[in-house]
Structure 1
């Protein structure tokens, strides 16, 4: 069952983090599935991207986890969990947004190709990440 629900295992620093839908908790880490040999769609469609610089990405530099989506129109269903001190996106995964829980607040910065927003605050709601952007979450309070 865990193998069917596993989305990807990413190496962040020296720790391996298992990323699964928000409703599932897993304790075993397994290898990430192999990426298809050739692109089957354009960047941003159902979470697919084929060049690291065009993938949406979120980096969680806090100890508190949150939900993210790879399908913006369907956010809130089938979301992925971004654990504390981990990241999601790149290497074929295009993150389209993340969720700040009710009564919570996040802050950090956003970088894209040729630009950087040095301080951004996000209140409780869904927040979109565009292709080629990385949202770095450095503060998370509830």
Structure 2
């Protein structure tokens, strides 16, 4: 999550077109303090509640989705789970199928050599690769 050195959290949210309410600031600060992390709405809810803040899970979902629309985080849908990634630099992910943990691929990134033709009237907005992994099974 990139933030200008002298920019306050309130100013950054306003610059992104987001009204800086107490709830939005609480979630934003959680994400800021966990830079380059991946968080599910439930995890964000638990972390905010652990700080003594009283936000509903629905509010957390709404704020995270609003942040995704504004480009603060990216939303990663993984079937039955949704995760929000605060690292906005282009990158791809590993998904540990056992623990359901999502983490950044560091170093060499996967290369997509060819994409299908984009349907008429549409434009490509990005390509995200999720590489699914699991611990090796004993022979």
Hey, which of these two has a bigger chunk of helix by percent? Answer: 2
Query: Would you call these one fold, judging by a TM-score over 0.5?
Result: no
Of structures 1 and 2, the one with the larger relative CO (CA 8 A, separation 6+) is 1
Give the structure with the larger strand fraction. Answer: 1
TM-score, with normalisation over the residues of structure 2? Answer: 0.25
> TM-score normalised to the size of structure 1?
0.24
Structure with bigger gyration radius: 2
